[in-house]
Amino acid sequence: MNEAHQTAAESVGTMVAKAVPPASVSLATIAGVQVSELVLWATLIYTVLMICHKMLAIWRDLRPAACPAPEDS
């Protein structure tokens, strides 16, 4: 019985995930925003996020390792 509930929940989630992009494009078009403009902004945001992520990874690789605390002997 639990498996049937889980399968139903997954199928509802899958249906929602499939319906969101067309619905958002339709609403944006009704609001007067071109689809090409949405794609342009989404690409710009994605590119900026990827550049920031890469810069953070490079910074973490290049910064000096923290000095270990001296051990008490």
* pLDDT one-digit tens code per residue, 44-64: 999 999 999 999 999 999 887
pLDDT at residue 47, rounded to an integer:
98
How far is C-alpha 65 from the geometric centre of its chain's CA atoms?
30
- % of the chain exceeding 70 in pLDDT: 75
User: Residue 23 corresponds to which tokens in the numbers above?
Assistant: 């619905």
pLDDT at residue 45, rounded to an integer:
97
Question: What is the DSSP annotation of 4-31?
Answer: HHHHHHHHHHHHHHHHHHHHHHHHHHHH
pTM reported for the whole predicted model: 0.54
pLDDT at 69 over 80: no
